[in-house]
A = this chain, B = another copy of it.
Amino acid sequence: MQKEYLLVTGAAGFIGSAVAAHFLKLGFAVITIDNLSTGKREVIPEDVIFIEGDAGNAFTVKELEQFDISGIIHIAGQSSGEVSFEDPEYDLRSNTNSTLLLLDYAKRKRIKQFVFASTMSVYGNQHFLPVTENTIPNPVSFYAVGKLASENYMRIFSKFGISSIALRLFNVYGPGQNMDNLKQGMLSIYMAQAIHSNEITVKGSLDRFRDFIYINDVVNAFEKAFSKTKEDGIFEIYNVCSGAKTHVRELLELIVKHSQSSIKVNVIEGTPGDQFGIFGSPWRVNVDLNWRATVELKDGLEQMMKWAIKQ
C-alpha cells in the first residue's frame, strides 16, 4: 500500500523532530521544511524528506508542488519570545506569513487537515487563572502576536474546507530539547546551566510560575489533533498543558536535586515580553480529544536530566 504524505514543518527542531518521528512510526511518509536557523540537520529523523528553506518564503513552499500531501502539521517558526524583540519583521514572516502560505497551498491542493503549533504566549498576563481557550488573548511579545494572527488565518481557511486545530503549547520540555540555545525553553536553559557551570542565572523573579508539559505528551496531542481534523470544516483551539502551576523556585529545586553537584542561583532582570505567571486549564482538550498529560514534572525532569548529562 502506498504511504500517505504528511508535511511536518520544523523537523530539525525539538518538537518538530519528535512529532515527525512519531508520524513516521504511524506509517506516514513525512516531508519537512526547515531553515536550520536554530534547528540542526542531524536532528531530522532518518527517512524524512527534507526541504531546506524558510516556510515563510513563497519559493520554499512552491517546492511542495511535486508532492501529493494529505495533511500539514505546521511547527516551524522562530520560537523565542525574547528573540522576537530583536527582529519583529523576521518573526512575522516566519510565524505568520508561513501559516498563510501553507494554508493557501492547502486550499489550492485541497488538503483538508491542518494542525498548528500555537503557544500559551497568546494569553500574555492574565488576572484570572488558569487560562482557558475562552480567555481574551493579550499578547505581550511579537512572537505571540504572530502566532495569534496565524490562528485567526486558520479560522478563515476552515471556511474553505480546511479542518484546522491550533494547539496552544505551554512550556514543553524533555529529551531532545536544544541545550545550546539559552534564549529558548525555561527548563532547558536552567538545566543546561546547571550541568555546564554549576550556576544558574535566572532572568526574572523566582515567584514567576509556569505550566510544564513533557514532550511525549505533546506528541500524543498532535496525533489526537491530527485525527480530529478528519472531521469536516472544523476550527478548534486547545490548551496543551498539564494544568499544574509550578513556581520557578520549585523548578530550580527539582533541578538542583537531580544535579550531581551544588548549584548557585543568580537572579537578574527579566526579559521583555516575559509573562509573569501562567498555567492553563486542560479541560477542553480532555473532553474533546480525550487527551491529558501523563508525565509528572518530577519524573519528566529526571528523564531529561539523565539524557542531558549524557550529551
Q: Which residues of A contact B (CB under 8 A)?
A: 58, 88-89, 92, 96-97, 100-101, 104, 134, 136, 138-142, 144-146, 148-149, 152-153, 155-156, 159, 272-273
Contact = CB atoms under 8 A, between A and B. Distances in A.
A141 B157 CA distance: 10
A96 B273 CA distance: 19
B96 A89 contact: no
Contacts of A152: 139, 144-145, 148
15 contacts: A58-B89, A88-B100, A88-B153, A92-B92, A92-B96, A134-B136, A136-B136, A138-B155, A139-B155, A140-B156, A141-B156, A145-B149, A145-B152, A145-B153, A156-B273
A140 B153 contact: no
Chain A contact surface mostly: helix
A190 B229 CA distance: 41
A156 B152 CA distance: 19
A153 B96 CA distance: 14
B104 A97 contact: no
A134 B135 CA distance: 11
Contacts of A139: 152, 155-156
Q: Tell me the number of copies of this protein.
A: 2
Nearest to A134: B136
Contacts of A134: 136
For A136, A153, A156, the residue with the greatest tally of chain B CB atoms inside 10 Å of its CB is A156
Per CB-CB distance, the 8 closest pairs between chain A and chain B, nearest first, are: A145-B152, A149-B149, A139-B152, A136-B136, A145-B149, A88-B100, A145-B153, A89-B100
Given A92-B100, A148-B148, A148-B152, 14 more contacts: A88-B100, A88-B153, A89-B97, A89-B100, A92-B96, A92-B97, A136-B136, A138-B155, A139-B155, A145-B149, A145-B153, A145-B156, A146-B149, A148-B149
A272 to B, nearest CB: 7
Contacts of A104: 88
A134 B58 CA distance: 36
For A104, A149, A153, A159, the residue with the greatest tally of chain B CB atoms inside 10 Å of its CB is A149
Contacts of A100: 88-89, 92
Contacts of A273: 156
Nearest to A124: B155
Contacts of A145: 149, 152-153, 156
Contacts of A156: 139-142, 145, 273
Contacts of A136: 134, 136
Contacts of A92: 92, 96-97, 100, 149
